[in-house]
Every structure is written in structure tokens, then in C-alpha cells.
Amino acid sequence: MGGRVFILSAPSGTGKTTVAKRLLKELSGLERVVTYTTRPPRPGERHGTDYHFTSKEEFERLVKEGAFLEYANVYGNYYGTPRSEVERITASGKDALLVIDVQGAFKVKKELPSAVSIFLLPPSLEELKRRVEARGFKDENLDRRMKTALEEIPCARYFDYIVVNDFLDSAVEKVKAIILSYRAERSRVLEELERVLRNDEIISLVKGGKCYVEET
């Protein structure tokens, strides 16, 4: 059994990138799928680590080849999730983390129904505006992002989980708990029993012992 796909989505400025970085640092066996984008790098961003930065022409060529699990035009730039990276990560037994916008989340969920979708909510619109401004977006850019947020927030009710990012530590712990709960699923544990449990007697009982409660 391979790993599972987790989708982390939120309006711009809610803090999904910050939460994702903490998750990757604190949870082993979790790998982020690096998104392709046509927007220029921001200060401190690295190609291949934060994004795969590419030209519009190259991006459109990849679209025609079916290379993306989902892609969208966001604020005038393309963003896309490479299908091959998702397959590579999950085939290795790791969980794949997709940090994508709301419309991308819906597309992935439609193609991969078993993916777990998590929506990060800001504690208030005032706090969201403050966070967006702190990232350097003002005037027209700020208004556009706040308008988009008002359209995205109602989408939260269609996600599998909703986490309010009021305090970073608390939000990270809640998302971690969601991911860890899926790692304890019966089918996944039984598939990986020899790896997670180094006791032949217990393994034998779990796999072949007789349960004393009759099955109904």
C-alpha cells in the first residue's frame, strides 16, 4: 500500500505555507509536492525547493502532455501540480502534501477521491487583511486578494477537515493529528505490520489469530 495524498488549502495570506513547513519539519514520512509556476521567484525562494519556476510556454507544453494532476491561473500566473511527483512520493510509501489553492484542491479531490482535504480558515477577515498586508500586498493587489478570499471561504464546508489558523502551534498540531490518524488506519497498519511492529508473536496474532468476538 502506498502513501496517502493530503491537500492543504486556504485563502492567500491564511498561512498555509508556514503551516506546511512546520508539518514537513515535524512529521517524518511526509513530502511536499513541489508545484510548477510561471510567476517570478520572491526573495529567498529557491527553484526546485519552493517551486519549479518555468516559462509560460514550457508550462503550456506540459499541460498538453498531461503532466499536471491539476493546474490553474491564479492572479495572472499559472500553477500546476506535477502528476509524476505525486505518484513517486506515494509509491515510495510516503504521504504526499499538496499545498494548493482552493480550485486546485477541488480538481485533485475529483481525480483522487481518497485524498484528504484540509481547509485552513483565518480567525477573522481583519486578521487575514493584516497578514496579506504584512506580505507586501497593498492597494489593488490587497483588494483583489480579499475579494477572492470572500469567495473561497464558503468552500470550506466542502473539505474533509477545517482548521482555524488562529495560533500557529495549535493549527499545526491539529493538522498533524489529522495526518497521524490516517496512518493508524487498519488497512495501512496491516500492510506495513512488519515494519511498524518488531514482534513476531503479536504480528502472528493480528494476522492469523482468532478474534474471540464472533463476527456479525
Domain layout of the chain by residue ranges: 5-33+95-208
Q: For residues 192 and 2, what is the distance between their CA atoms, to the nearest angstrom? A: 10
Please answer whether residues 31 and 97 qualify as being in contact, where contact means their C-beta atoms are separated by less than 8 angstroms. Answer: yes
The CA–CA distances, whole Å, from 48 to 24, 33, 60, 138, 192 equal 16, 10, 19, 28, 31
Three cell numbers written together for 193: 505490520
Give the model confidence (pLDDT) of 20-75 as tens digits. Answer: 999 999 999 999 999 999 999 988 899 999 999 999 999 999 999 999 999 988 88
Architecture field, domain 5-33+95-208:
3-Layer(aba) Sandwich (3.40)
CA torsion sign, 152 to 180 to 83 to 20?
positive
| pLDDT for the residue 139 | 61
Three cell numbers written together for 11: 485563502
Cα 82–Cα 79–Cα 147 angle in degrees, nearest 5: 145
Please answer whether residues 206 and 190 qualify as being in contact, where contact means their C-beta atoms are separated by less than 8 angstroms. Answer: yes
Stretch 160-168: mean pLDDT: 96
Count the helices and strands in the chain (H runs, E runs): 10, 9
Stretch 133-140: mean pLDDT: 69
Stretch 163-181: mean pLDDT: 96
pLDDT at 189 over 90: no
Residue 138 binned pLDDT confidence (cut-offs 50, 70, 90)? low
Overall pTM > 0.85: yes
Residue with more model confidence, 193 or 181: 181
Stretch 122-133: mean pLDDT: 88
Residue with more model confidence, 197 or 140: 197
pLDDT at 112 over 60: yes
Stretch 5-27: mean pLDDT: 95
What is the DSSP pairing of strand 95-99 with strand 5-9? parallel
